[in-house]
Amino acid sequence: MIAIHCTTFTFTGLAVAAVVDMSSGALPLRVNQDEYVESIVALSVSAARRAEVSSPLTAAELTLYRRATGALLWATGQPQPFLECKASMLARRFTCAVVADLGVANRVIMAAKAARLMPLVYPSVGKAARLRLFTDAFSVKAGIPTAHTGYAVVLMPASVPAGLLAQDALLSLVAYVSHRQRRVTHSSVAAEVSALLEGVRAATEVAAVHALLATGDGFSLPPLDVYTGNFSVYNTLDADGVLQPKEVGAAVQELRVLYHGGALATVTWLRARGKLADILTKHNRMSALADTIRTGRFDVRLGDADYLSKSSPIGSSSASLSS
């Protein structure tokens, strides 16, 4: 008989707790970094200095601003992904920060501390699983020419069908990113294509790791389902035309090869309320990601009109999933 012990331990600065779900008998993991978040010190700004909202930061102020931003990036890059975009936007101001940015940093610190009671929840999904990739991109204004990329990779039981996700579908958030795109894009489609390709590459690496851990075979990859909120990107995977500029066309062609070759099992277009990656690119946007993290379930109610989904032409004999 196997004995199961529930305990709490710290691993690389993360507090990990195993708590038995008395209703189901499952053993989900809860991960937080509360102690570290509590140690982040708010920036002290005098009333007179706060009145100079457009003044550049002094060398001493800039050092404190960068230190606080670095601490926030570490915390949000671990158990608080719903705040990572806000921290990333602070980092984009390193070379042009003004006094007003000190107040913004303090508000993000307060938000991080207020969210300490919302740990990441990792329910058990079993060895047979599917990976779901949610991607988003946002063209940042305010004089910054590069867009922002966000994606989230979640692990779900293989029994959960592709396409429309049920509100109670179990999931584990296994990877996510929120950062400035590495190339300048001149349209929303170009930005979304770049984000999708980056997310697919990252999800493929996650799939290989999962396959190795679950089956011992790093080449027996779980199916990958892709979700995007851009209808043009959804449609272009089935098209034959060449997109311009050429770097966008090359990225689209790579995605088409992956889709038609079966590496992308399904591609789904979602309305905004179902886009888990939305808050990773829009720091003022409310998102379902926070509730999803809190419950360990998809936690979004979608209807038939909220999505369109299609299967790869290869590797599936089923008809299109389009509603």
pLDDT at 288: 80
Question: How many domains does the chain divide into?
Answer: 2
Q: Are residues 303 and 156 in the same domain?
A: yes
Residues 162-210 pLDDT 10s: 888 888 888 888 899 999 888 788 788 889 999 999 999 999 999 998 8
Domain match, 107 and 171 both: no
Same domain assignment for residues 132 and 191: yes
Convert the pLDDT of each residue in 7-64 to its tens digit: 788 888 888 888 776 666 667 888 889 889 999 999 999 999 999 999 999 999 999 9
Give yes or no: residues 109 and 128 share one domain.
no
> Using alpha carbons only, what angle is made at residue 280 by residues 274 and 282, rounded to the nearest 5 degrees?
90
Number of Cβ within 10 Å of residue 128's Cβ equals: 11
Last residue of a domain, one of 50, 79, 114: 114
Would residue 50 count as lying in a domain?
Answer: yes
Q: How far apart are CA 183 and CA 177, in angstroms?
A: 16
Residues 53 and 137 in one domain: no
Domain that includes residue 61, residue range: 33-114
| 170 and 83 part of one domain | no
- Both 183 and 89 in one domain: the answer is no
- Model pTM? 0.85
DSSP 92: T
Query: How many Å separate Cα 126 from the centre of its chain?
Result: 22
State whether 148 and 107 are in the same domain.
no
Per the listing, tokens 């509603």 go with 323
Return the pLDDT at 71: 94
Specify the pLDDT at position 142.
46
Let me know whether 176 and 51 are in one domain. Answer: no
Higher pLDDT, 284 or 242: 242
Last residue of a domain, which of 87, 114, 141? 114
For 65-91, how does the pLDDT look when each residue is reduced to its tens digit (9 = 90+)?
999 999 999 988 888 888 899 999 899
Nearest to 199, CA basis, from 165, 236, 231, 224:
224
Q: Are residues 54 and 178 in the same domain?
A: no
**100 shares its domain with 234:** no
Is the domain of 144 the same as that of 290? yes
Burial 76-99 (b: 16+ CB within 10 A, else e): bbbbbbbbbbbbbbbebbeeebeb
**Could you tell me which of 156, 263, 235, 252 has the C-alpha nearest to residue 195?**
252
Q: What is the CATH number of the domain that holds 262?
A: 3.30.420.10
Residue 290: in which H helix or E strand, if any?
A: helix 289-295
